[in-house]
Structure 1
């Protein structure tokens, strides 16, 4: 899960801040140093082990969570208009940005797209300059966006998505197991309309939460999915209007 990854990153940072080595952590857990490194790499720490590592630094797990939340508070939730335009003007950069926001690694991108490693690293360096990521040693990627990160309303990227949606999104019969289309028509009061809009917003949050939960799965276990939710004043009168 996304929060597990953030928590492990904070734990590593605090261990470094307290001058604690993997060897000391290994002794604390009665494990080999190689086993500790594997636990961190696989993000597979039980609460009991997490508690013992925190105790090594005279900390509680709650201190770890507090530190994580403090760091997230400084994360970006939205780019500037100019920053979004930089991304929207380069479709390759746009593609890599979307991959990174879905927590792909450099190797994931290289395996699935026709980028060379130097090309990909240049794009990642661009995202580092925009403070979307921190490009770490070994070309590891740390996402710096806040949990509530979103594209600007009517910004360059949303406008790009709308243009693509209008021309391409509905070029399917929605007959696959992974697809669904529901079209409904009715008459709603203003109160009911606003209530339904709130339900739509909640559904979008659930989609985002599931996407974040699945971010730790291998790329082959998840597929790109685009959810389009819309509600507007519209009826069928124009379909029957005489020319």
Structure 2
């Protein structure tokens, strides 16, 4: 990711932290809100505009750069061995998913049948994995980046495919909070690549939405899982009837 893109991502988080919107930015820069959205989407901004936004946020430009560097040092993914240690321990897996999603110590203890000592023991394991920093009073400081992900094809993803996928899809997806779309069509390699980029942008929007709502009480939020996938594939039935080339 370019430094400009990283700076803009950091700036967006600073805007959200201060309760500012694209409408505020538009007013500060004398632009339309559509132009502001395009500026952030295209990751193109002048230094003068960055300095203007920093001024309105009472943030020195150097502080914005320092915030960006701090965020870039946060974990984006674990090693294969670290993921395996989590996948092998169900309690640790549960607590890891909770803290990545912003649960506090009390939230975990209240929602799950883990004693305070069990919670503390699992949190200390996560601290040794550098996922969190456990502060006095059992306060949890996450050390993962906003775009943290499990390794593609790694132990957690394999665990999901082996143990969770069937349970996940054992649903009619007909409730208000559910949605299932199965899309099928013909794409060139270039079209496939463009679609994958669109999925990546959607994933980024999901992470940003989770971060934006992280200020809400845990009681107002519920676990939401989306499976975004694309592959060159056809059902085995079609392959069975296909003519041999």
- Fold in common (TM above 0.5): yes
Q: Residue 102 in 1 paired to residue 101 in 2?
A: yes
The answer to whether the 8 Å contact 2:147/2:204 transfers is: no
Paired with 2:210 and 2:154, the residues of 1 have a C-alpha distance of: 23
Partner of residue 155, structure 1? 154
Partner SS, residue 135 of structure 1 = strand
Report the CA distance between 1:113 and its aligned residue: 0.5
Distance 1:82 1:237, change over 3 A: closer
TM-score when normalising by structure 1 = 0.71
- Please report how far the alpha carbon of residue 172 of structure 1 lies from its aligned counterpart in structure 2 after TM superposition: 0.5
How far did residue 68 of structure 1 move?
2.5
Could you tell me which residue of structure 1 aligns to residue 216 of structure 2? 217
C-alpha displacement at 1:237, in angstroms? 6.8
Unaligned runs of 5+ in 2: 1-11, 19-53
Matches within 5 A, 1:32-181: 51=58, 61-181=60-180
Q: Which ranges of structure 1 fall in alignment gaps of 5 or more residues?
A: 9-46, 52-59
Aligned length: 193
CA distance 1:73–1:192, shift in 2 (3 Å): closer
The correspondence of residues 18-37 of structure 1 with structure 2, limited to 5 A, is none
Answer with 1 or 2: which has the greater Rg: 1
Inter-CA distance 89–193: structure 2 relative to 1 (3 Å threshold): same
**Which TM-score applies when normalising by structure 2?**
0.70
Cα 1:70–1:195 change in 2 (3 A) is closer
Q: Cα–Cα, structure 1 residues 198 and 124, in superposed 2: closer, same or farther, change >3 Å? A: same
Per the alignment, residue 226 of structure 2 pairs with 227
Equivalent in the alignment of 1:21? none
Q: Given that residues 135 and 141 in structure 2 are in contact (C-alpha distance below 8 angstroms), is that contact kept between their aligned partners in structure 1? A: yes
Change (3 A) 1:235 1:153: closer
Offset, 1:240: 9.6
1:76 Cα offset (Å): 1.9
Alpha carbons 1:185, 1:235 under 8 Å: kept = no
Aligned twin of 1:238: 237
Paired residues of 1:76 and 1:149 also in contact (CA < 8 A)? yes
State the distance in 2 between where 1:191 and 1:64 align.
40
Higher RCO structure, 1 or 2 (CA under 8 Å, sep 6+): 1
